[in-house]
Amino acid sequence: MIAKLQGRGDTVGTVRAAKVESRDQGRLEQPIFAAFAQQAVQALLNPKCATPPLPKDMLGTPRTLYFEF
Amino acid sequence: MTRFKIQPLSRRGILGAGAATFIAPRAFAQSALGGDDTTAAPAPAASGGNNGPAISVSGAQSAPIPIAVAPFTDPTGNPSQYGGQITGVLSDDLGHSGLFRPIDPTSFVPNSVANGTPVWQNWSILGAQALITGDVADQGGGQLRVEFRLWNVAQQAQVQGTAYTTTVDNWRRIAHIIGDVVYQQMIGEKGYFDSRVAYISEAGSTTSPVKRLAVMDYDGANNQFLTDGSSMALSPEYNPARQQLAFVSYQSNNPRVYLFNLQTGSERLVGGFGDLSIGPKFSPDGNSLLMSVSRNGGAAIVRMSADGGGMTELTNYASINVSPSFSPDGSQIVFNSDRDGNQQLFVMNADGSGAKRISFGAGRYAEPAWSPRGDLICYTFWGSDVGGFSIGVMAPDGSGERILSQGFLVESASFCPNGRVIMFYRQTPTPDGHNSRLVTIGIDGFNERLVDTPSNASDPSWGPLLA
């Protein structure tokens, strides 16, 4: 199972907001996918995991980040 | 640990972001989804929206969800007797499932729910991913109103809020029902807490045991004996759709299948043919009953109406065919047979055609049961190279055999309503005879737990969800 998420990263790459990407919104009607996607959003917002190791050229400005869990 | 990988997706992505393939070092922190990543599997190619690079997160393993169950109070916020009891059962349900980790309530910050709304930072610092709050109002006349709310701590939002009204003596069921609601919201599939188990209670001496039919809540509470022990009872089976059990009784000094009406307490013989009848199993719709009937040294699997009429033989009597179990869609039946020389598992169509062997291990297979999810068949196995007995699971085609538990004697596995947990019984020898206890275990082989019963117990049959 793969969930596509979209997050808002700040200047140091920390994800400050996250949601299921529009392409996967329709799958949220499936309870198991919804639970899986919710856990993925939780993981992105977890302080331990909210700052992925982005390349330096992706830092410095807030940007939209895309994830696949 | 979770592995991150960024993949460039398109020419625009490469030119726009200058992204290059990047794999995070192992020092990266554990995610809420992840445990330690012991695999080195490469992340799959990722595609982000709007042609941007996507970060692929792979190798995560699930860990129990940290959940805080705040003590249920009365509507004014004061401690409540039933509130405390409901909180305890609810925490036990979630924790014992192995999928949740209730946070120690002694670590809760006082006054962390203000005017019905959580003080979010007080729950965040505990690491809670979810929070349950609730209150219990005594409405008089033996009635309780129980209200609960499920909160997502990270998103600071209510996920679910429901109120129940019930009689005072039903407070445990409300706790189980709330647990099932939380389970479904967080895991995505139905829970199993609001269910009952039929089993055989055993007391008395080893040489003259008194074996009675009994039912209890899945966690061992609310035990009720259904027969008086004057005749030995064995092999209970819950009807998934009716208030009815089938079981084997020696009332006529011969094992025969009887029906027990849970509402009236009446019993009725339905297996009165052949030399003996054993191993009753209902169809998923509760309208049919399978059993094994012995005749002339062999045993055939027969199907009849759950009301006791219209018997059809599904196998012949040329070998010993016993322990049938329907697939959850009712189209197939798994059973064990010695037609190939020793006890092995077979799957046939519900009309008895197309029997195909699915087990090939060096040992004997018995007592198969088909998971309500349809994905697994559990069984009892005895193999000389294993030593003792085992409870195992396999796919319906016989592949993926896994042993879940072993022991001197482990038998009679039964799936819970959502197919995630199995209950069986474990017998161990003692100086005075033996000890026989009911045990639950996850289908992943973890989280084995004893079920508390008043005396020795065996032959569990896990019934359907009550609500």
| ipTM of predicted assembly, 2 dp | 0.86
| Residue ranges per structural domain of chain A | 4-68
Q: Give all domains of chain B, ordered by start, each with its CATH number.
A: 3-58 (no CATH), 65-187 (3.40.50.10070), 195-465 (2.120.10.30)
List b or e across B162-199, with b for residues whose CB sees 16 or more CB atoms inside 10 angstroms: eebeeeeebbbbbbbbbbbbbbbbbbbebbbbbbbbbb
Whether residue A35 and residue B188 make contact (CB cut-off 8 A), yes or no, is yes
Residue of B nearest to A69 (CA): B57
Question: Tell me, what's the pLDDT at B272?
Answer: 86
Residue of B nearest to A35 (CA): B188
- CB-nearest partner of B28 from A21, A36, A53: A53
- CB-nearest partner of A52 from B50, B55, B155: B55
Question: Tell me, what's the pLDDT at B386?
Answer: 64
Q: Is B18 on the interface with A (CB under 8 A)?
A: yes
Whether residue A55 and residue B25 make contact (CB cut-off 8 A), yes or no, is no
Residues of A in contact with B56 (CB under 8 A): 67-68
How do strand B117-118 and strand B256-261 relate by DSSP bridges? unpaired
Residue of B nearest to A22 (CA): B49
> How many alpha carbons fall within 13 Å on the CB side of residue B270?
33
Residue of A nearest to B1 (CA): A49
Q: What is the pTM for the complete model shown?
A: 0.82
Count of all residues that appear for chain B in the document: 467
What's the rounded Cα separation, in Å, for the pair B320 and B301? 9
What's the rounded Cα separation, in Å, for the pair B229 and A26? 56
What are the strands, taking DSSP E only, across B8-120? 22-23, 54-58, 65-69, 100-102, 113-114, 117-118
Contacts of B428 by beta carbon, 8 Å cutoff, 6+ apart: B407, B408, B409, B434, B435
Q: Is A50 on the interface with B (CB under 8 A)?
A: no
Q: Is B36 on the interface with A (CB under 8 A)?
A: no
Q: Is A49 on the interface with B (CB under 8 A)?
A: yes
Residues of chain B with pLDDT under 70: 1-52, 59-62, 384-386
Q: Is A4 on the interface with B (CB under 8 A)?
A: yes
Test the A interface: residue of B7, B15, B30, B55 with most A CBs within 10 Å: B55
Contacts of B189 by beta carbon, 8 Å cutoff, 6+ apart: A31, A32, A35, B183, B418, B420
Question: Tell me, what's the pLDDT at B432?
Answer: 82
Whether A21 has a pLDDT exceeding 60, the answer reads yes
Whether residue B17 and residue A21 make contact (CB cut-off 8 A), yes or no, is no
- CB-nearest partner of B31 from A21, A33, A46: A46
What's the rounded Cα separation, in Å, for the pair B305 and B283? 10
What's the rounded Cα separation, in Å, for the pair B257 and B458? 18
**Contact assessment for residue B426 and residue B440, using Cβ atoms and an 8 Å cutoff:** no
How do strand B143-152 and strand B267-269 relate by DSSP bridges? unpaired
Residues of A in contact with B22 (CB under 8 A): 53-55
Residues of B in contact with A36 (CB under 8 A): 188
- CB-nearest partner of B4 from A38, A45, A53: A53
Q: Is A52 on the interface with B (CB under 8 A)?
A: yes
**Contact assessment for residue B45 and residue B56, using Cβ atoms and an 8 Å cutoff:** yes
Residue of B nearest to A63 (CA): B52
**Contact assessment for residue B171 and residue B222, using Cβ atoms and an 8 Å cutoff:** no
List b or e across B429-441, with b for residues whose CB sees 16 or more CB atoms inside 10 angstroms: eeeeeeebbbbbb
Q: Is A25 on the interface with B (CB under 8 A)?
A: no
Q: How far apart are the first and last CA of chain B?
A: 39
Per-residue confidence band for A9, with pLDDT thresholds at 50, 70 and 90: confident
CA distance A26 to chain B (A): 15
| Stretch (H or E) spanning B178 | helix B171-187
Q: Which two tokens stand for residue B130?
A: 């979810």
Contacts of B236 by beta carbon, 8 Å cutoff, 6+ apart: B198, B199, B200, B213, B245, B246, B247, B459, B461
- CB-nearest partner of B54 from A34, A57, A67: A67
- CB-nearest partner of A48 from B22, B29, B184: B29
Cα–Cα distances (Å) from B238 to B2, B22, B114, B410, in that order, read: 43, 55, 45, 21
Residue of B nearest to A21 (CA): B49
Whether residue A53 and residue B22 make contact (CB cut-off 8 A), yes or no, is yes
- CB-nearest partner of B129 from A22, A42, A49: A42
Average pLDDT, chain B: 87
- Residue identified by tokens 């030593």 is B387
Higher pLDDT, B312 or A17: B312
CA distance A5 to chain B (A): 9
Question: Tell me, what's the pLDDT at B7?
Answer: 39
Residues of B in contact with A38 (CB under 8 A): 152, 186
Amino acid letter, B220: G
